[in-house]
Chain A
Amino acid sequence: MAHNSGNRPSLGVFSQLTRRRLVQNGVLGAGALAAGSLGIPRAARAADEIIFWATGTLDIGDAGWKIIANDSGVKVQFTDNGNDPGPVVARLAAGNANDIFDIGGLQGGSEKELARRGLIAPWDLSQIPNYASLWQWAKDIPYLTYEGKAYGIPTVINADSIIALRDKAGNVDSYGAIFDPRLKGKTAMEDAWINSVIFTAIYLKSSENAKIAEPGNLTADELGLVMEFLIKHKRDGQFRTFWNGWEQGLQLVANQEVWVMTGWEPIVYAARMRGVDCYYAVPKEGYEGWGNNAILLKGAVNRGRWKAAHQLVNALLSGFYGCKLGMLRGYVVPTDNNVAYATANSSAFDPASVRELAEHVKQKFAGKVYWQNTRPDNFQLYETWWQRLRNA
């Protein structure tokens, strides 16, 4: 703005207004300071408080954690770790996660490397009575153990496949729909090689008889085969986009931006509530199984939280947590304790729907399921190929 030259600084209306802006910001800030703490590290916490640093999928809200606290005597403070194993592992390895958090929750596969680096401690299963109630095939997931010790406790399990819009895509029963040229520009996959590569590998193995041994753990040649397939389809414009995270995935389905996409089952439930006629396909090639697991951070042991951590994990498997999670998100804790709890507390949870959800998951896993693995043997090669896909 031009100003009148002279000896006196021109104040003018403008600078008065901006001064008020500053005061307003200052008031907001002072209010915030008054309301909360100054962030000075608190003195030693009560021994029965656990900081649970996990993907938001495992959260049951403050009300839910309060009930857990009442039942188990362990207070839980939940912090979202962003649902991306990459930064989580990086923060554990090079950052401050072990200084602040006690239990972590993330997708399985990284337990081996975290254990090797001494960043996590093994669970003492004798301190977790409810472990026995876990479904056997959940206990048997290979990446949960390292050198004979249990490093991950499965907290949430599901089998993923395809979300499809019935009126637009008809009846989908194969991953081939994602790559169907008739649906060009109307499909999507997740922007994560962890999921998308295994789906493609499952499809190529079953329906195109490609020579793939383990879709969850591809050799360099198999990986090249799968990725070239994906690159070709991307170049053809097959995919509308790749999605990343709940809101994005839900938006694509609910706004009918895509007609078929690989995705998480709860998106179907949420989209149906919005009135979209979509369903979760039962693909003939099989599902992709995944789990979010609880890991014990070394820092917690050093801080004397070992006992409380075991108590909490035991509480997570005792039934209430499973019922609540099932109600909130449609995810299942792999134990029969959920049904037992719902039956005993039928005013809070409907036993029939809890049982139905458990049976639904069990039935999926009774068929063909290939386990997701965030750390296949060639995991760095996966990333290299994904870069090529990005640049295609």
Chain B
Amino acid sequence: MVAEVEERVVPHEPGAHENVSARWRLATFFLALPSLVVFVGLGFIPLALVVTWSFWSFDPDTYWIKPAWSLASYAALLENGRATVFLRTAGLAALTATASTLLAVPAATVVCLLSRPRRAALLLALFTIPFFTSGLVRAFAWRLVLGRQGVVNNALMSLGVVQTPVEWLLFSDFAVVLGMVAAYLPFAIIPIVLVFGRIEYSVIRASQDLGAGFWTMFSTIVLPLVMPGIVASFLFVFIVAVGTSMEIQLLGGAGASSISIMINDVLRVVNFPLAFAIATVVVTLLIVLVIVANRALRLSRLFESLGV
């Protein structure tokens, strides 16, 4: 009886049963089909075009690309500080993702564990609403909040905390990270809130009965179970932050750069092979990052169901 249950229940758990039946394989294929159609059918061809074109050369006669294979674009990435841009963007994105996740975990805990249903739903709605407005306009508004004559400086001066406006509030890394965190917090909070569904109410009750305090309960029960959400939250914010240019352009200092800004600069001088090379490098680096994270965090085991 137990063996029968196991057979019906766990044929898709990795390593549990190597005799995956042909029906299961077919079912899996059909499940994967829609996404494969989208990614391979629609996504692969543009990517292939881009990668191919990155190995061709700029043709000064037509201002387009000629099929002369060369690594010149990739070599150009190592000059003029372009590599610095990759590092800086990745660093800013990682910082934003870390800050967002660190803020999101307590916020999600409050929503899911420390609030009545109505308050929880209200909080969740509040977290999502700003994202219905334009991100560009929101980022622009930060200039008016943090500027020399902005809300914060006016408050600080009228309270007598400072005599002259604080300059580094705006057009600095501080402003950029603040703007990005403010913009992308919902991305960080939503996955963690969703993953709280894994937590058994009765388990928490049991831990309380056994005498666990808040922090013990949090570190031994909540944290391990919400790990998938934390990983997803970091991934979401990192990806969106790596690809954005708005906050950096609006809130960064003179000529602040990011990967997107660099791509736009390069497209402006119709150096298409270089632009495509940048994109290829970005995709490659991120794929490598995911592979490394997969090994280190054992991602394949992370999203499994509990129980059995």
Whether chains A and B associate is yes
Most B CB within 10 A of own CB, among A2, A116, A256: A2
Interface of A (DSSP majority class): helix
- List residues of chain B with CB within 8 A of the CB of A266: none
- List residues of chain B with CB within 8 A of the CB of A188: 254
Expressed in whole angstroms, the Cα–Cα distance for A86 and B261 within the complex equals 12
CB of B255 within 8 A of chain A? yes
**Chain B, Cβ-Cβ closest to A15:** B121
Q: Is B62 a contact of A251 with CB atoms below 8 Å?
A: no
Give the contacting residue for A93; candidates B63, B82, B200; CB below 8 A.
B63
Q: Which of A337-392 contact B (CB under 8 A)?
A: 379-380, 382-391
Interface size class of B (residues with CB under 8 A): 35 or more
Scan A211-248; emit 1 where CB is below 8 A from any B CB, else 0: 00000000000000000000000100001111010011
Give the contacting residue for A387; candidates B118, B250, B262; CB below 8 A.
B262
CB of B271 within 8 A of chain A? yes
Distance between A335 CB and nearest chain B CB, rounded to angstroms: 30
Expressed in whole angstroms, the Cα–Cα distance for A89 and B140 within the complex equals 27
Give the contacting residue for A94; candidates B84, B149, B249, B272; CB below 8 A.
B272
Q: Is A90 a contact of B270 with CB atoms below 8 Å?
A: yes
Scan B235-260; emit 1 where CB is below 8 A from any A CB, else 0: 00000000000000110111111000
Distance between B107 CB and nearest chain A CB, rounded to angstroms: 13
Expressed in whole angstroms, the Cα–Cα distance for A84 and B150 within the complex equals 29
Q: Is B144 a contact of A383 with CB atoms below 8 Å?
A: no
- List residues of chain B with CB within 8 A of the CB of A390: 81, 85, 255-257, 261-262
- List residues of chain B with CB within 8 A of the CB of A90: 267, 270, 272
Q: Is A89 a contact of B62 with CB atoms below 8 Å?
A: no
Most A CB within 10 A of own CB, among B113, B150, B255, B266: B255
> Knowing A13-B121, A90-B270, A384-B80 touch, does A242 contact B255 (C-beta < 8 A)?
yes
CB of B202 within 8 A of chain A? yes
Expressed in whole angstroms, the Cα–Cα distance for A84 and B252 within the complex equals 20
- List residues of chain A with CB within 8 A of the CB of B197: 1, 3
Expressed in whole angstroms, the Cα–Cα distance for A17 and B121 within the complex equals 7
Give the contacting residue for B269; candidates A18, A117, A383, A388; CB below 8 A.
A383
- List residues of chain B with CB within 8 A of the CB of A13: 117-118, 121
Q: Can you report 7 A-B residue pairs in the complex whose CB atoms are below 8 A from each other?
A: A1-B113, A1-B196, A93-B272, A188-B254, A191-B249, A244-B249, A379-B269
> With A84-B264, A87-B268, A89-B270 given, can you name 5 additional A-B contacts, CB distance below 8 Å?
A2-B204, A89-B268, A255-B148, A383-B265, A386-B255
Residues of A within 8 A of B (CB): 1-5, 12-14, 17-18, 21, 84-87, 89-90, 93-94, 113, 116-117, 185, 188-189, 191, 234, 239-242, 244, 247-248, 251, 255-257, 379-380, 382-391
